[in-house]
Amino acid sequence: MSGEEERDWSALPSELVHLIAKKLPDLVDFIRLRAVCTTWRSSSPLSDPPHQLPWLLELSDTEYGNFNTLRERQRFYSVSSDETLTISLTNKKPELRNFVLGGVYSGYLPFSYYREQTLSFFNPLTGDSFSLPPTHGFILSPWMVWTGTDPIRSRSIIVVDRDLEVVNEMGEWAFYDPHTNKWVEHEGFFYHCCYWQGMFFSTRVQEPTQVFDAHSKELLHEIPPPEIESTENWYDEDDIARYLRKSYLVVSSGVILRVVWHLDYRDDKTIEESVFYIYRLDFERANDKSCWVQIGDIGNQILFLCEMNGFSMPATPSAGFREGCIYFIDPWNNKPYMYDIFAGTVESVPCPFEECTWFLPGLW
């Protein structure tokens, strides 16, 4: 306005800039804020970024004709800001053909080098990378289970080898302990998995949830499945193709949820007619009386599900995601949808990609 002095925004108190930065729901806005001036950059360090909501990572045939390959110019989509970001991976360290497809990507993209039996992790935003020591030769088709609240900084991770002969099942898992710089390996067959308080949980539809000590591999508990998975006609072996039933394990607000996805494809039903049942684990570590209790409310949390596992995050006002909802990827078309727990309805999530999965951006 004429007659008024131009405001010097760089003179904002550093405490106020830091507070604003911590409220930004999208990492793109955080990067832009840091680029304004030196004062703002120093007031919003990379070591203390705001809590971030996930992006969608594009999955598509590349020039190699392989879904397990990333493009040299990889695209991401931010639901909260409705922006598509293209990040060049040209001349970067990972070999794009070795991209590990499946699971949730937390800050880093995983790459498997079968001949060396190693895994490498690459941050597309910073160019930072790290590798884990070789395993004993079991990683054929790996996917990741992140451990704790800060798995990247701790370099603590569980790798499960997907069994190519049995759809959606895995054989063998290994826990990498950064303190000993060694892998703890275990044979078995697993389905959807999670990590919680030093324990590795694995579940399959209609079967007990198995609980292992991640360090010793000892089987600690077998928790019976929810009653809904034992009901008549829940699983028709003669007509499996007409049904979708997945049983996810998700750590949410310090508890474990078992999220059961049920869809009957008969009579031309569509993905919009999916139903989700949610159970909370009442865990009794000592007397083995743990059980699943059905709930109808997840509070201010948001659940995100992909092909093999999922995660939970607190809702942020005006950030493009609705609290008390489940955002999931359809395993047939790899498109995102939202399930409103209270209304019991499914909506398509706008996305510019033909196929995608979840990616949690990070600057660490």
280 - beta bridge partners? Answer: 257, 293
- List the one residue out of 18, 23, 11, 54 whose CA is nearest residue 34: 18
Structure tokens at 247: 């049983």
Q: How far apart, in Å, are the Cα atoms of 354 and each of 75, 136, 270, 334, 337?
A: 12, 37, 18, 8, 13
DSSP string, 10-24: GGS-HHHHHHHHHT-
- Domains in the chain: ranges and CATH: 1-50 (no CATH), 51-360 (2.120.10)
Give the pLDDT mean for 147-171. 60
313 touches 301 (CB < 8 A): yes
CA dihedral 15, 16, 20, 21 (to 10 degrees): -30
Cα–Cα dist 323/316, whole Å: 8
What is the sign of the dihedral through the CA atoms of 226, 230, 233 and 237?
Answer: positive
Residues 209-238 have pLDDT tens digits of: 889 888 888 889 999 888 776 654 555 554
In one-letter notation, the amino acid at residue 68 is N
Structure tokens at 206: 């209609």
Phi, psi at residue 297, to the nearest 5°? -150, 135
Give the pLDDT mean for 81-101. 79
Residues 277-328 have pLDDT tens digits of: 999 999 876 667 889 999 999 988 999 998 778 888 888 765 778 889 999 9
Counting every residue, how long is the chain?
364
62 touches 70 (CB < 8 A): yes
Q: What is the band of 349 on the pLDDT scale with cuts at 50, 70, 90?
A: very high
Q: How far apart, in Å, are the Cα atoms of 257 and each of 196, 201, 359?
A: 11, 11, 21
Q: What is the band of 32 on the pLDDT scale with cuts at 50, 70, 90?
A: confident
Residue 317 three-state SS:
coil
DSSP state, 99?
A: B
How many percent of the chain have pLDDT more than 90?
14
159 - beta bridge partners? Answer: 144, 174
List b or e across 210-241, with b for residues whose CB sees 16 or more CB atoms inside 10 angstroms.
bbbebeebeeebebebbebbeeeeeeeeeeee
256 touches 201 (CB < 8 A): yes
Please provide the average confidence, as pLDDT, over all residues in the chain. 78
Give the pLDDT mean for 85-96. 76
pLDDT at 294: 92
pLDDT at 240: 46
Residue reference for tokens 């999931």: 328
Higher pLDDT, 22 or 257: 257
Specify the pTM. 0.84
Q: What is the band of 139 on the pLDDT scale with cuts at 50, 70, 90?
A: low
Q: What is the band of 61 on the pLDDT scale with cuts at 50, 70, 90?
A: low
Cα–Cα dist 10/325, whole Å: 39
Residue 172 above 70 pLDDT?
yes
pLDDT at 197: 87
